Amino acid sequence: MNSKVFFLLSILAFLAFSQLTLVSCRKAKTNHGLDGFTLDLIHRDSPLSPYYNPSITSSQRLRDAFQRSFSRASFFTKASIHPTTLVNHAIQSDIIPDFADYLMKIAIGTPPRKTYAILDTGSELTWIQCKPCTQCYKQILPIFDPRKSSTYKIIGCQSKECKLVREPTCVKTNACEYQVQYGDGSYSTGDVASDTFTFASTSKKVDDISIQHVIFGCGHNNGGNFGNHTAGIVGLGDSKISFINQLDKQIKGKFSYCLVPNGDLSLSYHPPNTTSKINFGPKAVVSGPNVLTTPIIRKKPDVFGYDIFYFLNLESVSVGGKKLAFKSSQLMNSSDVDEDLGNIIIDSGTTLTFLPENFYDKFESILVETIKGKRKIAPPYVDLPICYETKSIVEFPKIVFHFTDADIEVLPMNAFSKVAEDVTCLTIVEGGQNGVYGNLAQMNFLIGYDLVNRKLSFLPSDCTKH
């Protein structure tokens, strides 16, 4: 029996949702092999990105990247679902997904219509703009028209799929509807539907990956601070409606990514057209003698909305061998949050790493004592407080994040960025009550999520070779 026949006989399965997943009571069918699949992640500042503007200087891109990071993290630090402010039971998220850094090429429907969407580990529902528009934000690529897709189906109000959506509504006759509102006032509302999603394979030996019966939001009323180059959001959060959990039967709750250093931010160099990668299923398994693993902490579903984020337990941080204890009590004042449930969010969409104010003051003090170099004031477009004259730095201090069961050394390229010709700044900053472990700290690590065993793995890697 050849591999294609074996694949077709083996790949039928029920999809199970979990935060922007594709859970469906129909049988799911993909055209990829049983060993999983790999897709490109495009940084929004890459020459391969639809956002890329060659006329924008590196300093402008730096300014924009830091502003996105501060804006996104400001909502992470107060993430909550506010029942008293919900309109028609809208899903309320304080995270603004358009401030995320990575895009994915997708195609929707039959025949497939190509577009770009924002990949976001801080969102649960996948949605795109759809015709006809009651109100749509400007989008350069054609807006998806479900009437032209032979595989598009609206989800019924009484269906199992509809119940997976957080607070659905049923205004139309038997049509399941969603409403999502973000912390900056941006929003999307429309029909909960299913269709075929197609992704471009990174392997020349493998056809594009088509996944049938993906549950998503078909947004007819969308507005706010969304960029005109993207059609919507691909949600990878830890929820029953996420993309990851919809693929659960096929990928067994496993995905991983390896983020290539961003040329404008990193102290290291790589070819400008190099893309980061995201893996699903068996290809996402992170193994080897240098792998370090820490538990992924699941928050209890509550009005704060913490349950959709990937929380880790950070026990302490070392700078130059001096260890600072990292207490949950320093992070969250709410009596409703159990101190044992994790204290820092790992997020692929936030550039900088944020530490709570009370802890950061001690961290900064030790770091400044340890670094031997000439202090500099950051350029006006960079809101980073700890900067040095690059050539004056004799040696960067060793910084280690001590997660439960995993001591992760962040290299200079993970903690410092060259922001001007001779100015290098620390990219670990103070921010809010909740810690956020950003994507600069994650670059050149293969990071694997195992949502079945609730474990996250780190493996130092050269991500240009993955």
Is 338 marked active-site?
A: no
Cα separation, 312 vs 345, in Å, equals 6
Q: Which two tokens stand for residue 439?
A: 């994507």
Residue 315 β-bridge partners: none
Could you say which of 101, 238, 347, 450 is catalytic? 347
Q: Which two tokens stand for residue 335?
A: 């009596």
Q: Which residues contact 4 (CB under 8 A, 6 or more apart)?
A: none
Cα separation, 98 vs 56, in Å, equals 19
Write the single-letter amino acid at 395: E
> Within 13 A of 10's CA, how many CA atoms are on the CB side?
12
Under 8 Å between Cβ of 343 and 331: yes
Could you say which of 94, 120, 195, 264 is catalytic? 120
Question: CA 234: distance to chain centroid?
Answer: 9
3-class state of residue 70 by DSSP: helix
Residue positions counted in the chain: 466
In 3D space, the residue among 152, 185, 190 whose CA is nearest the CA of residue 169 turns out to be 190
How many beta carbons lie within 10 A of that of residue 53, not counting itself? 10
Residue with tokens 């996944």: 211
Write the single-letter amino acid at 138: K
Alpha helices in 371-446 (DSSP H): 412-415, 439-442
Cα separation, 188 vs 222, in Å, equals 4
Under 8 Å between Cβ of 61 and 272: no
CA torsion through residues 51, 57, 60, 61, sign: positive
Q: Which two tokens stand for residue 341?
A: 């449930």
Cα separation, 170 vs 160, in Å, equals 14
Instruction: Compute φ and ψ for 201, nearest 5 degrees.
Output: -70, 145
Under 8 Å between Cβ of 319 and 326: no
CA torsion through residues 225, 230, 231, 235, sign: negative
Under 8 Å between Cβ of 103 and 206: no
N-term to C-term CA, the chain: 31
Is 120 marked active-site?
A: yes
Q: Which two tokens stand for residue 159?
A: 């269906």
Q: Which two tokens stand for residue 22?
A: 């594709």
**Residues belonging to the active site:** 120, 347
